[in-house]
Every structure is written in structure tokens, then in C-alpha cells.
Amino acid sequence: MRKLFQKGWRPALVLILLFIIWETCTNIFDIQKWLLPAPSQIIAEAISGWAVYSGHLASTIKLIIFGFSIGSSIGVVVAIGLHLVPILRQAFYPLLIISQNIPTIVLAPLLVIWFGFGMLPKIIVITLVCFFPITIALLDGFRQTNRDLMHYMQMAGATKKQIFWKLEFPHALPSLFSGLKISATYSVMGAVISEWLGASKGIGVYMTLASSSFRTDRVFVAIFLIVILSLLFFSLIVGLEKRLIKWKPKEEGANESS
Amino acid sequence: MSHLEIQQINKSFGVNTVLNDVTFSVEEAEFVALLGPSGSGKSTLFRIIGGISQPSSGSVNLNGENINGKRGSISYTPQTSSLMPWRTILDNVLLGQEITGNRDVEKALQMIERAGLKGFEQSYPHELSGGMQQRASFIRSILSPQSLILLDEPFSALDEFTRLDMQKWLLSIWSEYKRSILFVTHNIEEAIFLADRIIVLSSRPATVKKEFTIPFARPRDEAILLSDSFLQWKKRIYQEMREQ
Ligand SMILES: Nc1ncnc2c1ncn2[C@@H]1O[C@H](COP(=O)(O)OP(=O)(O)OP(=O)(O)O)[C@@H](O)[C@H]1O
Ligand SMILES: [Mg+2]
């Protein structure tokens, strides 16, 4: 906790300063509330409007958890599949890379046409944005398996299964987590985008409603909620990583290869 | 029953010949050092013996059985520290047994204590010094069921003092467990101090230039390092290696 404070006080100070400048500017230049509300107004709305957006928030969180779990599971399964079957890897890897040039948002209307406005198209959108960083990171982790360790395992007569579970998978675990961290933030974005497509509930919906009625303060509340959600999911993954990967040297910059 | 025979091994990568007609053998419970300049193909030879690389021609026999391309018949310690960073020392040491089936935790703990690593059973490799890590890798080999151990320059990254300690430790463990050891090094003194027999490889393409049988009685004391006959041996082998 003290460490967090030591590292965190500088950016926190900058943020506070920024808010103060913002607050004074809106006052001095007398900016309309519907154009740019002051931070104090946004905070007031965030507190008094809890009842308005709490339902939306819960719905989005549920969507994120669902989508992220499904998306990352698919990502892991795809990576393991491609890794274990080299022919599949050669066939699909380039396609996988190309597929990432399709912005998810242009696929969204198609998904709505095919699957309607229910949960399914939303989950698909989140899955699409989630699985790619995980698959690529995990595949990379598998590929970078230490050659000396590999030789040791092979000479010791390890089977393919033993090599995978005792060497390749644990070796790729840190890579998997860097993929998961990216996907965690992407999944929040994916959830909001998918809610814009059409939903009855969710932060995305709350945001659209707010902007169409010029409740700019609520738009900002939504933005802050999204940022907070992203940070929360991100730190959840970081926490999990810290619990699972205890074997990394503590100090930054210290190499574990000696 | 370990009796390794390397017969007329050739290995080339494309037009690049690395091993040329390499022939030698290792008797049961014998300690053989393979001495050769850097890049002469020692690690390549180990990969062939271990079955993860096929020779272009020639054969590797263990107890009269051809083991070309057959894995799992020897225990190998790679050139760099080869412990798995995500396993504790105890789990690392047991890895060789785990691959072939049965873990003997009791014996592993005993060996860890003998290696002076007591208290580090649950530590991760990065928490140990280089010498301690090498000792752990060697215990892993001794605990593995295979009777032939290949060591690829296990001490090359250590300083002179640690190295001598490690050599003495290795000899004491070896004399107790009597495995056959094939030990790669490019340090002449190390080879003389440790081995029953030294096989000198030429530089590329590597062939067996000469074999020396080292007569020093066992158990060997570090005092022999300063004896005249030790220096004589060092001179002979050094000259052998210099002549091209
Ligand atoms: N897979 C490979 N493809 C092509 N060339 C290789 C391959 N593996 C090894 N070589 C070549 O074989 C030669 C011998 O390599 P090797 O690693 O066996 O040497 P070494 O005797 O172990 O050297 P050192 O003492 O430095 O460890 C090197 O010149 C290397 O370029
Ligand atoms: Mg080598």
C-alpha cells in the first residue's frame, strides 16, 4: 500500500491539477453545462444519479464477465490447437492476422442482422476483440520456449504431452497474462460498443440516452465509469498473475536467466 | 550396465561438416572428459547421443543396443542452467523421475541436503547462486533412472574457487553413486582433475585426436593440482591441442 502511494502520488497530483484547471476554466469562461460540465457537476451527478445508472452498470459488468470468459477461453483453446497442430498453424496464422484488420464495429451491424438484439451478438463482439491478443501472446510464448530446456526434456524421453504441460505451458504463462491484460481492457470497450448496437440496458445505452438528451454530465459519468471498469478488470488480472506466477524475480530489470 | 560406444559418427549441416568419423567409448562407471575447442561440435555430439539429432552416418550404441534417434536413454544437463524457473528446487530435482514415472521425494530430500541445499527445497532457481543451480541440475541427473549422465560444460560459468569446490563435490557424489559420466569441457585442468580418461577432439571438423588415460589414484585430492606430474599432463595435453 505504501509502495502504491509512493509510485502513485505524482500521476495523482497531475490528475488533481488537471481537474482544478478544468473546473476554473468552466467557471471563468462560463461554459454551458450541456457543452462541458465542470468536474464538480459530474461528481454530483455521479453521486445523485446512482439509482439511474446502477442497473446499467450491473448489466455491463455481467456482459463483460461473460464475454471475457468466453473470449479468453476460446483464445487459449485456439492458441493451444494451433500450437499442437503445425499444419493448422501454418494455415490459420496468416488469416488470423488479416482478420484483425477488420474493425469490429463494421461487423456489428451484420451480427445484429444474423443474431438479433439479444445477448449473443454482444458476446460475439467481445469474443472477437478478446481472443486475438490472447491467441497471439500465447502462441508467441509457446514459440519462445527455451531451447536448452526443450533439449533436456526431449533427451530425458518426455512425451509430447509431458513437454507441453511441464515445459511449454508454464513457460508461456507470463505471455498468456500479457494477452489477458490487453483483452481485459478491450473487453470493456467491446461491451460498450456492442451495447450501442441496441440493447435495453448497459453503460453504452445509458451513454446514448444521455447524449441524445444533451445530458453531457451523464456522458462524462459514463466515460469515467468505463475507465474505472477497465482499470478494475486490469488490476484483477494483474492480481491473479501475481498469485499464479511467483517464480519471477521481484526486482524489475533482473533477468531470471543466469 | 552402461557401456556407450560411439562408432564412426559423421554429422554435417549442409556443406558444413562438424563431426568427422568420431569413435570412442565409455565404460561402465567411468568418468570420461571430452576436451575440445569452442565450436568443435561437442554439444552437437551430445544431441546425437541423446537422440534428438540424427547423425549423417555412424551409430551410437548403449549396452550393445543401437540408440540412434532414440530418446530417454541418457540423462543430460545442458550447457546453461537448465532448471525450470517455475518449479521449486525440490520439484526441479524430481523432474527426471517424473518423466519416467515415479517420484521418490525421500531420496530427493536426502540428496538436496548432501548438496548443501538444505532449506532451499521450496525456493525457486532464481533465488539460488549459479553454483547452487548447477548442483541442483546435477542432483536431478543422479536421481534420474538413466545410468549414463552427459554433462555439457556444467561449471564453465563459475569462478575459479566455486569451480574447484564443485569439482570436488561432483567427484564425491560420483564415487558414491557410480554412474557413467561423459563430461564436456574446454578446461584442461578440469578434465585432468576429474576424468579417468580424456578424449581430445580437434577443431572443426571434429575427430578424436588422441585419448589419454589419467593415472591419478582416487579419491583425488586438490593437492594434486599443484604436483609436478599434474603439470606434465597439462603440458602434454596442451601441446596435443595446439598442434593442428
Ligand atoms: N542446427 C544447426 N545447424 C547448423 N549448424 C549447426 C547447428 N548446430 C550446430 N551447428 C554448428 O556446429 C558447430 C559446432 O557447434 P556446437 O554447439 O556443437 O559446438 P561446441 O563444441 O559445443 O562449442 P562450445 O564449446 O562453444 O559450446 C558450430 O560451428 C555450429 O555453427
Ligand atoms: Mg557446446
Rounded to the nearest 5 percent, the helix, strand and coil shares of chain B are 35, 25, 40
Region of poorest pLDDT, from A1-15, A69-83, B99-113, B123-137: A1-15
Q: What percent of chain A has pLDDT over 90?
A: 40
0.80 surpassed by pTM: yes
Residue A97 sits in a domain of what CATH number? 1.10.3720.10
User: CB-hemisphere CA count at 13 Å for A84?
Assistant: 15
Q: How far is A70 from chain B (nearest CA, A)?
A: 27
pLDDT class of B244 with cuts at 50, 70, 90 = low
Task: Evaluate if residue A258 carries a pLDDT over 50.
Answer: no
End-to-end CA distance of chain A: 31
Q: Look at chain A and count its residues.
A: 258
DSSP annotation string for A156-202: TT--HHHHIIIIIHHHHHHHHHHHHHHHHHHHHHHHHHHHHTS-SSS
Q: Whose CA is nearest to atom 31 of ligand 1?
A: B39
Q: Is the peptide bond before B219 cis (omega within 30 degrees of 0)?
A: yes
Contact criterion met (CB < 8 Å) for A151 and B52: yes
Q: Is residue A138 part of a domain?
A: yes
| Residue entry with cell 555412424 | B58
Q: Which residue owns the Cα nearest ligand 1 atom 17?
A: B43
Q: Yes or no: say if A243 and A173 are a contact pair by the CB < 8 Å rule.
A: no
Q: What are the distances in angstroms from CA A81 to CA A62, A74, A173, A244, B5?
A: 28, 10, 16, 23, 41
Query: Residue B36 phi/psi, 5° resolution?
Result: -165, 155
Q: Does B100 touch chain A (CB under 8 A)?
A: yes
Mutation pick from A162, A163, A252, A258 vs chain B, by most beta carbons of B within 10 Å, is A258
- Alpha-carbon B49 to chain mean position: 12
Reported as a single tens digit per residue, the pLDDT across A82-117 is 999 989 988 988 888 888 788 877 887 888 888 887
Range of the domain at A76: 52-257
Q: How many residues does chain B have?
A: 244
- A188 domain residue, yes or no: yes
Q: How confident is the model at residue A227 (pLDDT cuts 50, 70, 90)?
A: very high
Is residue A157 within 8 angstroms of chain B, CB to CB? yes
- ipTM of the prediction greater than 0.90, yes or no: no
| Bridge partners, B57 (sequence order) | B10
Query: Rounded to whole angstroms, what are the CA distances from B242 to B22, B142, B202?
Result: 19, 35, 9
Q: Which fold has domain B33-74+148-244?
A: Rossmann fold (3.40.50)
**Is A160 in the B-facing interface, judged by CB distances under 8 Å?**
no
* C-alpha–C-alpha distance, residues B199 and B222, integer Å: 22
pLDDT 10s digits, B36-61:
888 888 888 999 998 888 989 989 98
SS3 content of chain A, % helix, strand, coil (to 5): 80, 0, 20
Q: Residue A256: what pLDDT?
A: 41
| Alpha carbon distance, N-terminus to C-terminus of chain B | 36
CA distance B30 to B2: 9
Is the bond preceding B205 in cis, omega lying within 30 degrees of 0?
Answer: yes
CA distances from B151 to A40, A95, B137 (A): 70, 44, 10
The full set of domain ranges for chain B reads: 33-74+148-244, 84-145
pLDDT of amino acid B93: 92
Cell numbers at A158, concatenated? 518426455
What gap in Å lies between CA A111 and CA B141, rounded to an integer?
57
- Determine, for residues B85 and A256 on separate chains, whether the beta-carbon distance falls below 8 Å: yes
Q: Which helix (H) or strand (E) holds B244?
A: none
- In this predicted structure, the answer to whether residue A14 has a pLDDT above a threshold of 50 is yes
Put simply, whether B8 touches A (Cβ < 8 Å) is no
CA distances from B51 to A43, A148, B70, B71, B154 (A): 68, 14, 5, 5, 20
pLDDT at A254: 42
Interface contact flag, B74 A155, Cβ < 8 Å: yes
Contact B98 A148 (CB under 8 A): no
Contact B195, B31 (CB under 8 A): yes
Q: Quick check: B65 pLDDT over 70?
A: yes
Averaging pLDDT over each range in A37-46, A157-166, A194-203, B133-142, which range is the top one? Answer: A157-166
β-pairing, B65-66 vs B57-62, is antiparallel
Q: Where residue A1 falls among pLDDT bands split at 50, 70, 90?
A: low
Q: DSSP class of residue B206?
A: B
Classify residue A38: in a domain, yes or no. no
Give the Å distance between the CA of B46 and the centre of ligand 1: 11
Sequence-ordered list of residues with C-beta below 8 angstroms from that of A248, at least 6 positions apart, any chain: A174, A256, B85, B126
All cell numbers assigned to A246: 511467483
Q: Name the residue of chain A whose CA is nearest to B76's CA.
A: A152
- Sign of torsion over alpha carbons B153, B154, B158, B162: negative
Q: Which triple of cell numbers denotes residue A170?
A: 508454464
Which residues of B, range 184-223, sit inside 8 Å of A by Cβ?
A: none
- Asked if pLDDT for residue B120 goes beyond 50, the answer is yes
Instruction: Among B20, B22, B38, B43, say which to mutate for ligand 1: greatest number of ligand atoms within 8 Å of CB.
Output: B43
The letter for the amino acid at A197 is L
Q: Is some CB atom of chain A closer than 8 A to the CB atom of B131?
A: no
| A141: pLDDT strictly greater than 90 | yes
Express each pLDDT in B147-206 by its tens digit. 899 998 888 878 888 888 888 888 888 888 888 999 998 888 889 889 999 999 888 788
Rounded CA separation A22/B121 (Å) = 57
The alpha carbon of residue A65 and the mean position of all alpha carbons in its chain are separated, in whole angstroms, by 11
Q: What pLDDT was estimated at residue A255?
A: 44
In a domain, A141, yes or no: yes
Cβ–Cβ < 8 Å for A192, A204: yes
A106 part of contact set with chain B, CB < 8 Å: no
Q: Which ligand is nearest to the CA of B37?
A: 1
Closest to A160 (Cα-Cα) out of A78, A85, A77: A85
Average pLDDT over residues A214-228: 90
Q: Is B159 part of the contact surface with chain A (CB cutoff 8 Å)?
A: no
| Residue of B75, B84, B124 to mutate for A, most A C-beta atoms under 10 A | B84
- Tell me: the pLDDT tens digits for B91-107? 999 998 888 888 888 88
Q: Which three cell numbers, joined as nine digits, stand for B166?
A: 564443485
Quick one: A6 exposed, middle or buried, by C-beta within 10 A (0-12, 13-18, 19+)?
exposed
Give domain status of residue A135, yes or no. Answer: yes
CA dist A249 → B110, B130, B221 (Å): 27, 15, 38
Q: Is A254 helix (H, G, I), strand (E, B) or coil?
A: coil
**Residue B40 CB less than 6 A away from ligand 1:** yes
- CA dist., res. B177 & res. A129, Å (int): 57
DSSP-derived 3-state class of residue B65: strand
Residue nearest (by alpha carbon) to ligand 1 atom 18? B41
- Does residue A29 sit within a domain? no
